[in-house]
Amino acid sequence: MLARTCLRSTRAFASARNGAVHFSKRAASSSSSGAAADAAPVGLNVAAAAATAVAAGSIAWYYHLYGPTAHAMTPAEEGLHPAKYPWVHEQMFKTFDHQALRRGFQVYREVCASCHSLSRVPYRALVGTILTVDEAKALAEENEYDNEPNDEGIIEKRPGKLADYLPAPYPNDEAARFANNGALPPDLSLITKARHGGCNYIFSLLTGYPDEPPAGAQVGSGLNFNPYFPGTGIAMARVLYDGLVDYEDETPASTSQMAKDVVEFLNWAAEPEMDDRKRMGMKVLVCTTVLFALSVWVKRYKWANVKSRKIAYDPPKPAKTRE
Amino acid sequence: MGFWDTIADMVEAATPWVTAEAEAPTQESTEETTVEATKEEETATKEAAEEPAEEEEEEEEEEEEDDEDDEDEIVDPKEKFEEECRESKQCSGVKHHFDECVERVTNASEQDGAKEDCVEEFFHLAHCATQCAAPKLWSALK
Amino acid sequence: MNIANSGLYNTLFRKNYTFLGLVFAGAFGFEMFYDTRMNKLWDSINRGRQWKDIRHKYAEEE
């Protein structure tokens, strides 16, 4: 291919330089390409050598960059994809189960909150979805927050109120890393949106710790084996064990029950507007369905005349003058 | 779940001659429990009919479940269902591969250090087991 | 019946401001009707799941 391209270009140059000669040659011999190749053999050889050098050079460069070993992606690096669980609150027109949210909040408070912050959720958001006003106020007052500066410019502490946000377990990321062997427990406010797989992933992660890692698996020091975590080495140890919390509604607190509840709660924390959004969506869908049906009917009504008329071509009778 | 369930839900909710109940209403707790209990019995008998060999096992598990509610001894349903799934016919292939791999790797590590691990086989087994247990688990959890 | 001579036409449609008023009032009324109906439907789809269904367990009425 390359050679042929080169040939074509030399031929073009030749014709540009002395077209008259070329034409005469062409007239003399039927094979024009052979004649043109004879015109510049040195140039052709140089071009071929240069192309070979470039190709060999780029291969050498690639090898220099990436080396002799090929690193393919392993399933362990990708992490096990979670099974799809039939979450009721993920159905199109279903709200969160607020009883489950309440249980999930209890699990968060008693288990997760010692390491994970939930910094984007204020107490007021809990009112009317998970807690009553009195419960939320009582909960807020258990914690102290910075007050406005007083007359002397000193910032005193005051008990929390509904407008305050849930307190974080650590003052900053550095403190969190220091307390957890260098691993940073992520903020859980938006975690179901922030992780590929969402609710299924977090549920699987919480419940998926095997009793012992499979044979031959390498687990780094200070890490735990979890198939769902990309790389399989996760700093968080298994935290949910059967009967860890006592639910106020007497639900048996099995590991998976707690995980399910806390995941639903975290989904609420990430999408507190979901209930209203779905309700509005249902209204919109019903309304637009009716309007669409109406518009289809109107179109058919208006087009009925046009569609049902028949246009016939009635050719003029040939004049019978001759014959 | 999905689109047609939603439509069915809406139709059910809109028709005046049925009472649509998304979740068991809280007031009628006694009635609901009896209904659930009969349902459990039904499913149990069905399963027993399908697999007569495992009849006794099933019954034992039913008893265990009943114990759960009464005592503080809690068995995680996820563990239970996934164990059943791992032993089931559906996952026998991947389980066979996993067991074989474990055996091979442990033998190799005893001799001169294992060159491979069973993570991939474990993944396949776990995938099969969770996939199979997911719907059962959700019907068991609240 | 000729629609141009009917009472409906003369009272409501003839003057632009009455017609506009009718449109606005109709929209208002329909919105109220539609919203309450759909909210009822929503509550019956999600019975037992929403906060208002479980609130009575936790709220202390004073």
Residue B120 CA to residue B98 CA, distance in Å, equals 9
Q: Is residue B14 part of a domain?
A: no
- Regarding whether B81 and B61 lie in a shared domain, the answer is no
- Beta-carbon separation of A76 and B120 below 8 A: yes
Would you say residue B11 lies in a domain? Answer: no
Which residues of A, range 276-315, sit inside 8 Å of C by Cβ?
279, 282-283, 286-287
Residue ending a domain, among B50, B73, B96, is B73
Chains meeting C at 3+ CB pairs closer than 8 A?
A, B
CA A178 to chain centre: 30
- B84 and B136 both lie in a single domain: yes
Q: B135 and B114 in one domain? A: yes
Q: Is A94 on the interface with C (CB under 8 A)?
A: yes
Average pLDDT of every residue of chain B:
71
User: Residue C48 is nearest to which of B10, B13, B23, comparing CB atoms?
Assistant: B23
Instruction: Note whether A160 and A122 are within 8 A (CB).
Output: no
Residue B127 and residue B84 share a domain:
yes
B20: in domain = no
Q: How close B1 comes to chain C (CA, Å)?
A: 14
Judge whether A2 and A48 are in contact, CB under 8 Å: yes
On whether residue B100 sits in a domain, the answer given is: yes
- Return the residue in A257, A260, A282 with the most chain B beta carbons within 10 A, the one to mutate for interface testing: A257
A89 marked among binding-site residues: no
CATH assignment at residue B90: 1.10.287.20
Write out pLDDT tens, residues A41-81: 899 999 999 999 999 999 999 999 888 877 778 888 999 99
Which residues in chain B are contacts of A251 at CB distance < 8 A? 142
First-last CA distance in chain C: 63
Tens digits of residue pLDDT in A74-123:
888 999 999 999 999 999 999 999 999 999 999 999 999 999 999 999 99
In chain C, which among 2-21 make CB contacts under 8 A with chain A?
none
Is residue B86 within 8 Å of B129, Cβ to Cβ? Answer: yes
Do residues A245 and A258 lie in contact, with contact meaning Cβ atoms separated by under 8 Å?
yes
DSSP letter at A127 equals: B
Query: Which of A83, A214, A242 has the CB atom closest to B130's CB atom?
Result: A83
Span A155-209, pLDDT tens digits = 999 999 999 999 999 999 999 999 999 999 999 999 999 999 999 999 999 999 9
User: Is residue B120 a part of any domain in this protein?
Assistant: yes
Query: Both B94 and B116 in a single domain?
Result: yes
Residue where a domain stops, chosen among B48, B73, B98: B73
> For position C62, what pLDDT does the model report?
55
Is residue C34 within 8 Å of A287, Cβ to Cβ?
Answer: yes
Same domain, B68 and B107: no
Domain residues for B67?
A: 36-73
- How many angstroms separate the CA of residue B90 from the nearest CA in chain A? 16
Average pLDDT over residues A136-146: 95
Let me know whether B66 and B82 are in one domain. Answer: no
- Among the candidates B73, B99, B124, a domain finishes at B73
The reply to whether A64 sits in an annotated binding site is no
**Is B117 a domain residue?**
yes
Shared-domain flag, residues B133 and B82: yes
C-beta atoms of B25 and C47 within 8 A: yes
Residues on chain A bordering chain B, Cβ-to-Cβ distance under 8 angstroms: 74-76, 80-88, 90-94, 97, 100, 204, 207-208, 210, 214-218, 227, 232, 242-243, 251-257, 260
Q: Was A199 annotated as part of a binding site?
A: no
* Pair B110, B87 in one domain: yes
Q: Is the same domain home to B105 and B130? A: yes
Distance CA A182, CA A174 (A): 9
Position B5 in a domain: no
| Alpha carbon distance B17, B12 (integer Å) | 9
Minimum CA–CA partner of C55 in chain A:
A132
Task: Please indicate, yes or no, whether residues B63 and B105 belong to a single structural domain of this protein.
Answer: no
Query: Alpha-carbon distance A192 to A113, whole Å?
Result: 16
Higher pLDDT, A158 or B64: A158
- Residues A208-232 have pLDDT tens digits of 999 999 988 889 899 999 999 999 9
Residues B68 and B82 in one domain: no
Any chains having at least 3 CB pairs less than 8 A from chain A are B, C
Confirm if A11 and A33 have CB atoms less than 8 A apart: yes
pLDDT in tens, A18-29: 444 444 444 444
Are B122 and A214 in contact (CB < 8 Å)?
A: yes
Residue of B70, B73, B119, B127 to mutate, interface with A, max A Cβ within 10 Å: B119
Q: How many CB atoms lie within 10 A of CB A171?
A: 8
Would B26 be classed as within a structural domain?
A: no
Of residues A35 and B93, more confidence is placed in B93
Looking only at the bridges linking them, the beta strands covering A155-159 and A144-149 are antiparallel
User: Does the CB of B5 have a partner CB in chain A at under 8 Å?
Assistant: yes
Interface size between A and C, measured as CB pairs under 8 A: 43
In 3D space, the residue among A48, A6, A8 whose CA is nearest the CA of residue A32 turns out to be: A8
Mean of per-residue pLDDT scores for chain C: 89
Chain B CB contacts of A86 under 8 Å are 1, 134-135, 138
Domain tally, chain B = 2
